[in-house]
Chains A and B, each alone.
Chain A
């Protein structure tokens, strides 16, 4: 290894690289292209993935929604086709029975109502909610705040409205916070305005009022329209969904095999379909990237081989002057490694620049196609090290070729 730190070794390599510019450049481009593609493709795939994640971004993706429909099987004296509702007791039961699995649970009641402010009005959704909703489906507030515990306890007549509603119900430059709007002839004080979500959203333009207030005003008693459940990290959501439905069927005297009585959506499963696509993308990226890299390395080997042929005479001269096969091999391999290293680093730099450019061009704004296209440094390091190792291995071939011929044959070459 001593030869590595010998300035003469590098002097020799510098000399031969400098005087063989064309092949040096071609070699570098071969590898540079490979690692460049790998970086850019991986980055772009990551960017797409991030884009998808952003789409689901404000939503806890490990969520299940449950509502009731009507039974399709007679059970315990009940006819089929029975309609029934979820209620607050169900919530308590689920919370205690699935305390290990359930992280958040939001019972919800919703209706459509005319919403009026001064002389302006519009038909909007009204939703009775708990503050926990904000954790399941993050609301970005422009003004004010979301519902809180006090609103629930005090059965406050307050509402959080969407930006769109604010624009349609209020004059320009009127601060909505503290103003009153009328829903179903009852006055609510506006306490917050939220931005429309640019990701998936089940509510649209909704006036959120405290769950307790909704219950009182609309006289819903214990009834609940539907609920959103978010599981703890690491919970098997599909299993949890099945278990919860079974518990609910039991609570509501529904046949265990009844398929229609409860409706449910498992958000995780839906997202899984998209993620599967993304995984495929990533696999493809790896495949293409690695194939290109290998091609790049072979290009180096090939070019070195050509170079060795081109330089057969030079190598013959060196051997006539006393170069041992080992010193010739060392020099060729070191050249190979040096070239791959430089090319690899340049490829990474250019790749990063292109990702930077992509981010600047396509990664900005709300509806960006790619978000934060990046590549993990360990991945790049692994790719880089692999490249250098392959470069060494492939350098062995021309190095060997350079030393098997007799010096006289090398010298005779023109």
Chain B
């Protein structure tokens, strides 16, 4: 699903440049549930953004669903994002003046689905995240956990192949974190590839594979204990 080879990324900083990713090799197969850990500034978000086609890499190869991503223009990138990718952000990134339902329906608008149909689909997804009754509320009327569930519904509504989540529980307390993680697990169980960044070991432990980054390099990449245990049986 996602194949990354010798990926490099640096940010220009005045005259110099900051070398953030220094040759990442990573292969994520369809249906995996991967978490990335690492200290602040290690390049986690940078990696996720490149995977999400929100940013471009400098060197190396990136294949998304078998397609080499190179010199992509914005239009193609937008179509690929719409078709293959769903995003969940730490700060939710809901559009403040749209209701929960309209927020969830927005990706379908860009897909070209008509209003009636997309509101219906969006409502199904809100139901799935348990927020059907909050459909007509604005984001500022929702709690953090509810907002993140709306964001997840929005990420899922186009039935993407990969869901990318940058610290989806970063702004939530542990109880709401768990409900969000449960949702992501459900999604993964349905066969979707899920890729999360997190700081919290407990969160990472709920995924199936943990990749650790340090200074722009992968220092470890292993299955979580639960999966190992399951395999051992």
Binding site for B on A (CB under 8 A): 7-8, 11-12, 15-16, 18-19, 313-314, 317-327, 403, 406-408, 411
What are 24 A-B contacts defined by CB distance under 8 Å? A11-B115, A12-B109, A15-B97, A15-B98, A18-B97, A317-B94, A317-B95, A320-B81, A320-B87, A320-B93, A321-B87, A321-B106, A322-B78, A322-B81, A322-B83, A322-B111, A322-B158, A323-B78, A324-B74, A324-B75, A326-B75, A327-B110, A406-B56, A408-B55
Tell me the B151-170 residues at the A interface (CB within 8 Å).
Answer: 154, 158
Using Cβ atoms and an 8 Å threshold, which residues of chain A touch B110? Answer: 318, 321-324, 327
B67 within 8 A of A: no
A406 B55 Cβ-Cβ under 8 A? yes
Using Cβ atoms and an 8 Å threshold, which residues of chain A touch B55? Answer: 406-408
- The residue that A325 contacts in the complex, of B54, B74, B98, B114, with Cβ under 8 A, is B74
**Residues 13-27 of chain B: 1 if any A CB is under 8 Å from the residue's CB, otherwise 0?**
000000000000000
CA–CA, A85 to B85, complex, Å? Answer: 104
Q: A406-B56, A411-B93 are in contact. Are A322 and B107 (CB under 8 A)?
A: yes
Tell me the B73-121 residues at the A interface (CB within 8 Å).
Answer: 74-75, 77-79, 81-83, 87, 89, 93-98, 102, 106-107, 109-111, 114-115
B52 within 8 A of A: yes
Closest to A325 in B: B74
A8 B54 Cβ-Cβ under 8 A? no
Determine how close the nearest CB of chain B comes to the CB of A127; give it in whole angstroms.
80
CA–CA, A343 to B221, complex, Å? Answer: 60
| Interface SS, B side | helix
Total A-B Cβ pairs within 8 A: 70
Using Cβ atoms and an 8 Å threshold, which residues of chain B touch A314? Answer: 95
Closest to A324 in B: B78
B49 within 8 A of A: yes
B87 A8 Cβ-Cβ under 8 A? no
Residue of B56, B74, B89, B96 with highest tally of chain A CB at under 10 A: B74
Closest to B73 in A: A325
Using Cβ atoms and an 8 Å threshold, which residues of chain B touch A318? Answer: 95, 106, 110
Residue of B82, B83, B89, B114 with highest tally of chain A CB at under 10 A: B82
- The residue that B93 contacts in the complex, of A11, A317, A326, with Cβ under 8 A, is A317
CA–CA, A317 to B96, complex, Å? Answer: 11
Tell me the B45-61 residues at the A interface (CB within 8 Å).
Answer: 49, 52, 54-56
Determine how close the nearest CB of chain A comes to the CB of B180; give it in whole angstroms.
19
Closest to B102 in A: A15
A321 B154 Cβ-Cβ under 8 A? yes
| Size category, B interface | 20 to 34
Q: A16-B97, A319-B74, A322-B81 are in contact. List 13 more A-B contacts (CB 8 A).
A: A7-B115, A18-B97, A320-B54, A321-B87, A321-B107, A322-B82, A322-B158, A324-B78, A324-B110, A325-B74, A407-B55, A408-B49, A411-B89
B78 A325 Cβ-Cβ under 8 A? yes
CA–CA, A325 to B49, complex, Å? Answer: 18
- The residue that B54 contacts in the complex, of A19, A326, A411, with Cβ under 8 A, is A411
Closest to B160 in A: A322
B54 A406 Cβ-Cβ under 8 A? yes
Using Cβ atoms and an 8 Å threshold, which residues of chain A touch B52? Answer: 320
CA–CA, A317 to B158, complex, Å? Answer: 15
Using Cβ atoms and an 8 Å threshold, which residues of chain A touch B98? Answer: 15
A8 B78 Cβ-Cβ under 8 A? no
Determine how close the nearest CB of chain B comes to the CB of A347; give it in whole angstroms.
27
CA–CA, A321 to B77, complex, Å? Answer: 11
Top 5 A-B pairs, shortest CB-CB distance: A322-B82, A19-B97, A408-B54, A322-B110, A324-B78
- The residue that A324 contacts in the complex, of B79, B102, B158, with Cβ under 8 A, is B79
Tell me the B113-137 residues at the A interface (CB within 8 Å).
Answer: 114-115
CA–CA, A275 to B168, complex, Å? Answer: 75
Residue of A314, A321, A323, A326 with highest tally of chain B CB at under 10 A: A321
Determine how close the nearest CB of chain B comes to the CB of A117; give it in whole angstroms.
85
Determine how close the nearest CB of chain A comes to the CB of B117; give it in whole angstroms.
11
Using Cβ atoms and an 8 Å threshold, which residues of chain B touch A8? Answer: 109, 114-115
Using Cβ atoms and an 8 Å threshold, which residues of chain A touch B56? Answer: 406
CA–CA, A326 to B55, complex, Å? Answer: 19
CA–CA, A403 to B75, complex, Å? Answer: 10
Residue of B94, B97, B154 with highest tally of chain A CB at under 10 A: B97
**Residues 164-206 of chain B: 1 if any A CB is under 8 Å from the residue's CB, otherwise 0?**
0000000000000000000000000000000000000000000
CA–CA, A15 to B115, complex, Å? Answer: 14
Using Cβ atoms and an 8 Å threshold, which residues of chain A touch B115? Answer: 7-8, 11
Closest to B93 in A: A317
Determine how close the nearest CB of chain A comes to the CB of B181; give it in whole angstroms.
22
A407 B54 Cβ-Cβ under 8 A? yes
CA–CA, A212 to B54, complex, Å? Answer: 101
CA–CA, A411 to B55, complex, Å? Answer: 11
CA–CA, A126 to B16, complex, Å? Answer: 103
Using Cβ atoms and an 8 Å threshold, which residues of chain A touch B97? Answer: 15-16, 18-19
CA–CA, A400 to B145, complex, Å? Answer: 36
